[in-house]
Amino acid sequence: MRYLITGGAGFIGSHLAEALLARGDEVFILDDLSTGSVENIRHLKTHERFHYCFDSIMNRHLLSELVDESDIVFHLAAAVGVRLIVESPVRTLETNVEGTQLVLEAASKKNKLVFMASTSEVYGKSDRVPFHEEADLVLGPTTIGRWSYAASKALDEFLALSYWKEKKLPVIVVRLFNTVGPRQTGRYGMVLPNFVRQALEGAPITVYGTGRQSRCFCDVRDTVAAILRLIGTSQAVGEVVNIGTDREISIEGLAHLVKQRSQSHSPITYIPYEEAYEAGFEDMLRRVPLLDKLERLTGFRPATPLDEIIDRVIAHFQKRTDAGAALAAGGIVAAAAPE
């Protein structure tokens, strides 16, 4: 099978590409590297069944060509991360809504299955935990920028499901809950890589708000496994499905666990949301998925323990640090050699 992954140089996209190649598939990726990175796919670039294009999803001609080349489209390209969303609301809306429209339009011409990644953010301020796929969405006011991401992804879902209902384009929509693992960057506010980096550097581990807000963290390997099972399940077409774990931990508890697992002496500090993001910033106390639908459709339920996930992220950061140190040492030796 041949697959297109938009946003394929991103954190989840690169892991999905690895899994597809490992099972013998051919993979095309399209990424403008705005939030993705060449480093995520450097180890794949020489693979004979891996093809990459560093360009915008807004390039209609290229997008159409890549869709035509593929049997299934994974649409992962999106503006991601709380910090990016707050700082660049225009980019968030344009990338998410227009990009999704173009993907669905191109896929509809050839009736290609589209797997679309949405987010737990669409549940907004709902307090009906655990979150059920058929539950109401409760968003904040349009004057608060952080809700632009949730609104844009909700519109993406409406678009995808409308293409299914009106044009019979097969689509599967998933709402991802805090997927984490190696290669995730903290550059745009992702909490686990930021905590790990701070702990390993001996810097203060910065918790935003009170730290009592809780989340459920899912290993990227489990997320990819769930995705691959869903695309092989005809009953998932036209459905919205949660992917994540239902084991909660407070952000304060996560900070302490990262500190323990990394054997760090970093202090844990607290920063008000107004200082971290913007005045009036709102966060949700809990965000827990109901996983019954995923399990019913696929027989799969993510189960990697959080300790193991954190250890994998720590090992990844340490490996990068060691590689950087070795490269720097090699540069010094090379510079000194002519003398």
Could you tell me the CA-to-CA distances from 196 to 1, 180, 271, 306, 310 in Å, in that order?
A: 37, 12, 17, 13, 8
Which residues in 139-293 belong to E strands, given as ranges? 171-176, 179-180, 205-208, 214-216, 218-219, 240-243, 248-250, 268-271
- What the block records as the tokens of 273 is 């949301």
141 vs 154: CA distance, rounded Å? 15
CA 225 to chain centre: 14
36 vs 329: CA distance, rounded Å? 28
153 vs 174: CA distance, rounded Å? 11
User: Is the Cβ–Cβ distance between 244 and 177 less than 8 Å?
Assistant: yes
**3 in catalytic set:** no
Catalytic residue among 149, 163, 208, 277: 149
Helix (H, G, I), strand (E, B) or coil at 299: coil
| CA neighbor of 66 nearest in space, from 38, 107, 32, 105 | 107
| CA neighbor of 21 nearest in space, from 58, 47, 53, 54 | 47
So which residues are the catalytic ones? 149
